[in-house]
Amino acid sequence: MVKDWQYSKRNQQCSDCEHSFTDGEDVFSMLRMFEGDLQRADLCRACFDARDESTDVVYWRTSQHENRQALRLDFDMLLALLEKLLADERDDRKDLSYLLSLLLVRHRKLRLERVQMKGPQEVMLLRKTRTKKTFAVESREMTDERRSELSKQLTELVDPTKEANI
Ligand SMILES: [Zn+2]
């Protein structure tokens, strides 16, 4: 299992079959949740088509010759990712939404407007900076270990050189 994915270690092979990509070949870059871990993967078309779709978080198509820097997730992509995660009812996706929203607040891309209770559940209402777009994100309880592991995985997506600090 490719648990310790790091951006800086991205190689030129398919994450699943180790096929070496050729110049100009389509590469499917994705984030997936596998056994509770957030992973970054780069797949060839065959592996992408054969993947277990239930692990998908988000994917995008790139090609082998693109500049590696362009593959870094920017904040607009992270906001789009948050929106997608919020439509998913699975617990691990909710944990990820919560930590991702905290990360976006820390980077001043989202602002906390207020916290409200939805039954027993605390929900943070966040607004995208300088827009009227809002996100309702459940506050999640998780163990310190789980929190720091997911935070680390998320932070590496944004900036692999930084230590997790969500
Ligand atoms: Zn492959």
What tens digit of pLDDT does each residue of 82-94 get?
Answer: 998 999 999 999 9
Instruction: Give ion ligand 1 contacts, CB < 5 A.
Output: 14, 16-17, 19, 44, 47
Distance 63 CA to ligand 1 centre (A): 14
* Closest CA relative to residue 56, chosen from 26, 87, 25: 87
CA 50 to ligand 1 center in whole angstroms: 9
**For the segment 14-54, what is each residue's pLDDT rounded down to a tens digit?**
999 999 988 888 889 888 988 888 888 889 999 999 999 99
User: 159 CA to middle of ligand 1, Å?
Assistant: 26
Q: How far is ligand 1, taken at its centre, from the CA of residue 45, in Å? A: 7
CA 32 to chain centre: 8
Q: Band the pLDDT of 76: cuts 50, 70, 90.
A: confident
Contact assessment for residue 57 and residue 32, using Cβ atoms and an 8 Å cutoff: yes
Read off the pTM.
0.76
Rounded CA-CA distance 93/142 in Å is 13
* Predicted confidence (pLDDT) per residue in 91-142, tens digit: 999 999 999 999 999 989 999 999 999 999 999 999 999 999 999 999 999 9
* Mean pLDDT of the chain, nearest integer: 84
Q: Are 23 and 47 spatial neighbours (Cβ–Cβ below 8 Å)?
A: no
